[in-house]
Amino acid sequence: MIKRKFKELELSGLGLGCMRLPLEKGSNTKPDLEKVQTMVDMAMEKGINYYYGLGLS
């Protein structure tokens, strides 16, 4: 994974966008936490440590 320096951080060259997370069946707003956890775990295993779209980026 390519890493880039940003201030004192070393961030992955690729990020995981979190604006449209999988939702629970029948819900317009409640994230499916099991699916979200699987996505984040996989991203972390691949070296991604930059997440955006959470209102924090």
List pLDDT tens digits, range 3-35. Answer: 999 999 999 999 999 888 899 999 998 999 999
Does 57 score more than 50 pLDDT? no
Q: Of 11, 16, 5, give the one whose Cα is nearest residue 40.
A: 16
pLDDT for 1 = 87
Stated pTM of the model: 0.77
How far is C-alpha 18 from the geometric centre of its chain's CA atoms?
5
Q: Of 49, 57, 52, give the one whose Cα is nearest residue 13.
A: 49
Tally of structural domains, the chain: 1
Contact 11, 49 (CB under 8 A): yes
User: Does residue 9 belong to any structural domain of this protein?
Assistant: yes
Boundaries of domain holding 27: 3-52
* Arithmetic mean of pLDDT, 33-46: 96
Does 56 score more than 90 pLDDT? no
Beta-bridge partners for 8: none
User: Does residue 34 belong to any structural domain of this protein?
Assistant: yes
User: Does residue 22 belong to any structural domain of this protein?
Assistant: yes
User: Does residue 57 belong to any structural domain of this protein?
Assistant: no
pLDDT for 54 = 65
User: Does residue 7 belong to any structural domain of this protein?
Assistant: yes
